[in-house]
Amino acid sequence: MLELHPILAEILHIISELEKMQDKNNIATLKQTTQLDNEIFHSILSDLEIKGYVENLGGVLKLSKNRKELLKNAKKE
């Protein structure tokens, strides 16, 4: 399994938690939580989408099925 940068791993973890809370505005919540610069924030989100870790479904971020499995496996280790 490829190692993710700790910041990216934490962003994915936050997205996972926001999914559990069914946050319909999770992009804004994620931005507020991370407090990243707007340009950097959107660059990271684009990178995560390109790599297939997240899906943007009508403005709501969701972990891809592949990423959910990787997170489950990482928790087991």
The owner of tokens 């340009």 is 39
For residues 22 and 17, what is the distance between their CA atoms, to the nearest angstrom? 9
Q: Where are the domains of the chain?
A: 6-76
Q: Which secondary-structure segment (H or E) carries 62?
A: strand 60-63
CATH number of 6-76: 1.10.10.10
Tell me the whole-structure pTM to 2 decimals: 0.78
Total residue length of the chain:
77
Count Cα neighbours of 17 within 13 Å in the Cβ-side half-sphere. 9
Collapsing DSSP to helix, strand or coil, 22 comes out as: coil
**77 residues of the chain, pLDDT tens digit each:** 457 788 888 999 899 899 899 878 899 999 999 999 999 999 999 999 998 899 988 888 999 887 766 666 666 55
- Give me the pLDDT at residue 59, please: 81
Q: Which residues contact 25 (CB under 8 A, 6 or more apart)?
A: 59, 60
